[in-house]
Structure 1
Amino acid sequence: MEPPTKKNKKKKTTNKYGVAELKTLGNELLSSASNINNLPLLLTFVSPSSPPQHVLESLLSLHSFFLPLLPQLPSSSATANPSSDAAGDQSEFIYLTWLRSKFDEFVKSLVEVLVADQSDETLKEVVLDTLMEFVKVANGGTFHSSLYNRIISSILYSSSSAEFLIDLLTSKYFKYIDVSYFTFISLEKLARNLEGKYVTDDKTASVDGTDESQLSSNIEGVIHNMYYTISHAPFLEKSNDTSVFEMWSVSESSGDLDDKQLKSKKHKNNVLSADRIAKKMKLKFTKAWIAYLRLPLPLDVYKEVLVNLHQAVIPHLSNPIMLCDFLTKSYDVGGVVSVMALNSLYVLMTQYGLEYPNFYVKLYALLVPSIFMAKHRARFFQLLDSCLKSPLLPAYLAASFAKKLGRLLLSVPPSGALVITALVHNILRRHPSINCLVHREDDDEDSDQRTDEVTASNLDNAETGSKPLQKSGIDYFNIEETDPMKSGAMRSSLWEIDTVRHHYCPPVSRFALSLGTDLTVRAKTTEVNVGDFSAGSYATILGAEITRRVKQVPLAFYKTTPSSLFSENDFTGWAFQSEETSQMIDVNNENAAKNLLDPEHSSAKRQRIECQ
């Protein structure tokens, strides 16, 4: 027989009561203090294992019971007896201390129900509203930051997804300035604790041989939940009027002042307090983000952070230059991560005075064929065009970018060819010093030497009666070189751009011809908007061709329905053989090979054929 345990006793107790009995117990508890023993009984039903109806009914009764008593309850850390020796005061203090312990137990049970997987969404919403009500009033009318930090920590560390609860906080409570303020404080504390825990647990795992995969998965889940929270917490817009700042918990300590004094006090402190609130919010926002970016972010979160950093984070930081280490390290990673970091890094360089000497070297290394198939290629090409817009750019650097883009033109899809043509066109217009690359057949510094060599070779050929020797061009550009200064682009030519005029895709060839005309008539033309081509693909090119009006269209019609894709007239001199014919061809090939091995036999055969 199973011995009676506390858990078994709890099951037997809870099975005796239904919703009606719980409602009766709650009414008795609220009607008279003599029924205080109903309090521990109702607390047993606030559990993730209890039915939702029982949890809800017990929660409503306990919420109504504790709410008016919260200002009278001592703090959880109060252990000393009151200074009065009166037995009544001492007994009252013991009673209030006992009630405080039951309230703490009630809060703990509510948090467990809030993050439990088996709790339905309706019950979670009611529990969250109850906890937020305690946050509002349980600290003497001011915001209960420790309780709120406990709620946020439980949500982020829960095994289930925190999106539903964070969405509830966003829609209901993040609009209040104090809730957002303490949200950033809680996130900063959790991020710092998680950073220390990650380092400690990582060392312990390497020494003790514990399961590192389980540890990393738990940490990744918390980091995902933290990012979802910090990205949804709204930033405070600066205002000179504190009336627009809604507070969830407001202390009414100024009730002794009359109306005139209260109005004058608010009027004097209105502007200063608004400015101070904005500065504090910006500081907490900055600390929360900096602490979060120090964590070992998973790759999917890492990419999402880099994509949204320039819009959602950088404008609201107290000192955006603090992100320079994070962004430069991301920019040095290479690949798609560097492309995503380029956006925020460009904002810091152009708007906040960040100096990054190797910026163009890293940007030059990003020009690879795979970039034309990347997800964020549209923004990358627009930033690339903006980075090459400065007239102070050295000629060798502009030539290296133009030449490398031209070389990529030979291997990219048609949509990439359109982007490259537009980029090279803009580079040539902005930097006239590299116009020598447009049409150069021989290197200027070696032209005299080459002329002498060609002349001497032609004289020798004239004596022997052979054809003149044609000196082929040499491309001095080295695409494998990572340093633009050593690439040799200034000694080369943009011969790759000429190939675009004969491109197999009609839009590409037409675009190249039109830009060639623009370079000759500079006064009547302007730069090309790269954004019109940066997001192109096969689908956009096909859609543009379908909607394009064409004056002359090649027509083809058949009097009868064709039975094959190609007719014999399309391939004059060619014949499509069957398997038997292919075998005969193989025999003929073998005979031809024998003739090659026996030259006398083959020559005699040719003589017989000629005689015939």
Structure 2
Amino acid sequence: MNGAISNKKRKRAVNANPNIASTRVSRLDPEHDEASDILLLETKILESRKNYNAITDLIGHLHNDNDEVQSLAAVALCRVFCRLLAAGALTNNHEPSDSSSQADRTISQWLLERLKETYKQLFHFLKDNDATKQATILTISMQLLKEQAKHYHRANYAQWSRDAFQDMIEILIAEDTHFTAAEGFAELFASKYDDIRYYTFDRITELLSSAISEARTERVISMLALLEPPDLDRDDFPRRFLDPPLTSNKKNDVASRNTYLTQMQKVWMAVIAQKPQKAQRKRILESISTHIAPCFLKVELLMDFLTDSFNIGGSTSLLALSGMFYMIQVRNLDYPQFYHKLYSMVDGNILHSKHRSRFFRLLDTCLASTHLPAVLVASFIKRLSRLCLFAPPAGIVVVVPLIYNLLKTHPTCTFMIHRNSDLSYKDEDGCGDPFRIEEQDPMETDAIESSLWEIETLQSHYHPNVATIAKIISEQFTKQAYNLEGFLDHTYGTMLDTELSKELKKEPEIEYEIPKKIFARYDKAAGKDDSLLVKLWDFT
């Protein structure tokens, strides 16, 4: 938007007789009447500073009930203020000693008040549910902010983000604002421009410096989830929406990668300081190893949050464990009790959890190292085998290939396959299995002295797929490893669909004689036996 008015239009507006103009406008329909009035007001304002009072009339059109009139007025105000900012009409660097300068300061102050009034009304429009209107208002608002940063805040480049931009961020995360506004802001600006993303983090951090409501915290987390971290190593970083600052200030300049990462670290620590609820904590944990932790310069700041999340239990513990593993594997942090906590999560609930796929991906990665003690790996193998006795078929078909892969990676554990389950050892219950399932320390379970009789039992499972896959333990280990991704997404529904989609090689066996009576008894003279249903129930 350059606010330029063509000479032809300007000349016509100047030379037009007011009486003729009013007669011509009155013949138009009300909507065109408003549009002509807006254009006339804009032209008058840009012609002379004597007509600045017309800005108030132009702002009045923003209160019109017609959406098109509101949009026309918003665009006109944007052009007006962009021209005034470029011309220096809103600067306040004049010396107050000079009378003329004092008048200029008064006018500048008045114009600034009208600009704030315009911002206020534009941001109010962001609460509208119309995504197209929100996108238009966002574009106009950001253009005004850009011009204000370029021409008004020359002395302090970052000051612009503490005025109207902060008010806009507050509106975007307000509970009564439709979330499409935040989505539009992220798509059109924050995701494209690194400096806008940086200042968004800065403003949200400022807003989180005091306690906010749970609903607002949820909006903040949702908005931050839209702002994925950029590739800091790309050649065009930072991609700017605003022009570079006139004075270099490394503390506020997004060109510094460490400054950017520090700001992102601050905003997430501010979110965690709000003590998010369980559902909000899960949302943070889901992206902690992909979007959050990689951007932390001091990743150890997250360890307390991860530890507290793990102690909650259930699926929250699983998500926290994923973050812990990232810290150990990628950031080389020491967490001595990691495998103890991982072992404690291998219980009956995990095979029924909706996060089962995520857990087994993590477990497969954690136990893939050949440097792990065989005693430790044997405990996981044995505990998984025992849980299969009470697991749904969709869970068993994941566990058995995982056990196969672990046995291939750790050949010392293969003695568990060939050991006879009828051991001379007898525990206090008379069972011949030395494995202590109640033991929480995987190094002290004696699983290495046990056998995999549970997998052999599964070879007689009622589900044919489970019985078939369980037989791989009894065959030669010629396959290098199974790709778990082919088993992780199995559910009751997918297994049922697989069975129903099979082509029958032969018709199933049915009763050779269709009974004529199911709920009634046959006459004794007929010489036929009553159905089992009739024998068990009396329907008379």
What range is the shorter-chain TM-score in? 0.7 to 0.9
Alignment partners' CA distance in 1, 2:407 and 2:55 = 82
Distance apart, 1:357 and its partner CA? 1.7
Select the structure with the greater relative contact order (CA < 8 A; seq sep ≥ 6).
Answer: 1
- Match of 2:74? 59
1:229-255 CA-partner distances (Å, limit 9, x unpaired): 22222433234744x64322215969x
Q: Is the 8 A contact 1:441 1:473 kept in 2?
A: no
Aligned to 1:590: none
**Which of 22, 43, 46 is the aligned partner of 1:30?**
46
Q: Which amino acid aligns with 1:377?
A: R
Length-normalised TM-score, structure 2: 0.78
Equivalent residue, structure 2, for 1:197: 211
Distance 1:240 1:394, change over 3 A: closer
Report what 2:195 is aligned to.
178
Is 1:154 aligned to residue 155 of structure 2? no
Distance 1:414 1:344 in 2: 29
Q: Which residue of 1 aligns with 2:495?
A: 541
Contact kept, 8 Å, 2:340 with 2:440, in 1: the verdict is yes
Q: Aligned-pair distance for 1:555?
A: 5.2
Once the two structures are overlaid, the 10-residue window that deviates more, 131-140 or 57-66, is 57-66
Pair 1:414-2:414 in alignment: no
Partner of 1:123: 133
Q: Is 1:489 equivalent to 2:447 in the alignment?
A: yes
Task: Tell me which of 219, 222, 236 is aligned to 1:225.
Answer: 219
- Distance between the aligned counterparts of 2:518 and 2:438, measured in 1? 44
1:440 matched to which residue of 2?
420
Aligned counterparts of 1:26 and 1:234: Cα–Cα separation in 2: 40
- Change in Cα spacing, 1:323 to 1:511, as seen in structure 2 (3 Å) is same
Could you tell me which residue of structure 2 aligns to residue 464 of structure 1?
none
**8 Å contact kept, 1:283–1:318:** yes
1:263-320 CA-to-partner distances (Å, cap 9, x unmatched) read xxxxxx9xxxx99533332332222223223323243332232222222233333343
Asked if the contact 1:331/1:337 (under 8 Å) is kept, the reply is yes
SS in structure 2 of the partner of residue 410 of structure 1: helix
- 1:145 and 2:138 matched: no
| More helix by percentage | 1
Q: Residues of 1 paired with 2:287 and 2:234: CA distance?
A: 28
Give distance in 2, aligned partners of 1:422 and 1:132. 55
Q: What does residue range 200-599 of structure 1 map to in structure 2 within 5 Å?
A: 219-239=213-233, 241-242=235-236, 245-250=238-243, 277-438=256-417, 439-441=419-421, 443=423, 473-518=431-476, 522=477, 524-545=478-499, 556=509, 576=532, 578=534
Kindly state the Cα deviation for residue 73 of structure 1 after the two structures are TM-superposed: 4.3
1:98-109 matches, cutoff 5 A? 98-109=110-121
What fraction of aligned residue pairs are identical, expressed as a percent?
A: 26
Shift of 1:91: 2.1
CA contact (8 A) 2:310 2:317 kept: yes
Q: Match for residue 110 of structure 1?
A: 122
Change (3 A) 1:534 1:63: closer
Q: Are residues 1:134 and 2:137 paired?
A: no
- Alignment pair present for 1:68 and 2:21: no
Question: Which residue identity does 1:378 align to in structure 2?
Answer: S
Quick one: distance in 1 between partners of 2:131 and 2:533?
72
**Secondary structure of 1:285's aligned partner:** helix
Distance change in 2, residues 1:121/1:554 (3 Å):
closer
Contact 1:330–1:337, Cα closer than 8 Å, also in 2: yes
- Tell me which amino acid in the other structure corresponds to 1:354: L
1:392 match: secondary structure: coil
In 2, Cα distance between the equivalents of 1:574 and 1:557? Answer: 18
**Amino acid across the alignment from 2:420:** R
Looking at structure 2, the residues matched to 140 and 251 of structure 1 have their Cα atoms a distance apart, in angstroms, of 9
- Secondary structure of 1:151's aligned partner: helix
Aligned equivalent of 2:13? none
3-state SS of the aligned residue for 2:62? coil
Q: Which of 97, 103, 107 is the aligned partner of 1:84?
A: 97
Q: Distance in 2 between matches of 1:560 and 1:436?
A: 53
Which secondary structure does the structure 2 equivalent of 1:313 belong to? Answer: helix
**Equivalents in 2 of 1:83, 1:156: separation in Å?**
40
Assess, with a 3 A threshold, how the Cα gap between structure 1 residues 81 and 435 changes in structure 2: closer, same or farther: closer
Contact 1:45/1:55, CA 8 A, preserved across alignment:
yes
- Output the CA distance in 2 between the equivalents of 1:252 and 1:285: 21
State the partner residue of 1:40. 56
For 2:445 and 2:517, locate their aligned partners in 1 and report how far apart those are by CA, in whole Å.
52
Counterpart contact for 2:228–2:291, Cα < 8 Å: no
Q: What residue in structure 1 maps to residue 26 of structure 2? A: none
Aligned pair in 2 of structure 1 residues 318, 574: CA closer, same or farther (>3 Å)?
Answer: farther
Cα drift, residue 92 of structure 1: 2.5
Q: How many residues align?
A: 490
Alpha-carbon distance between aligned partners in 1 of 2:222 and 2:166, rounded to the nearest angstrom: 16
| RMSD between superposed Cα atoms in Å | 3.9
**Residues of 2 paired with 1:583 and 1:252: CA distance?**
90
Offset of 1:109 from its aligned partner? Answer: 2.5
Shift in Å, 1:375: 2.1
How does the TM-score come out when normalised to structure 1? 0.70
Give the distance between the partners of 2:57 and 2:173, measured in 1 at CA: 30
1:517: Cα distance to partner?
0.9
Cα 1:178–1:581 change in 2 (3 A) is closer
One-letter amino acid matched to 1:185: D
Contact persistence 1:477–1:488 (CA under 8 A): yes
Structure 1, gaps ≥5 residues long? 1-16, 199-218, 255-268, 451-470, 585-612
Tell me how far apart the structure 2 counterparts of residues 555 and 542 of structure 1 sit (CA, whole Å): 17
Contact 2:190 2:227 in 1 (8 A): no
The aligned counterpart of 1:606 is none
Contact (CA 8 Å) 2:310, 2:321: kept in 1 or not? yes
Q: Deviations over 1:480-508 (max 9, x none)?
A: 44333454534543322221111111121
> Unaligned stretches of 5+ in structure 2?
1-32, 152-156, 522-527
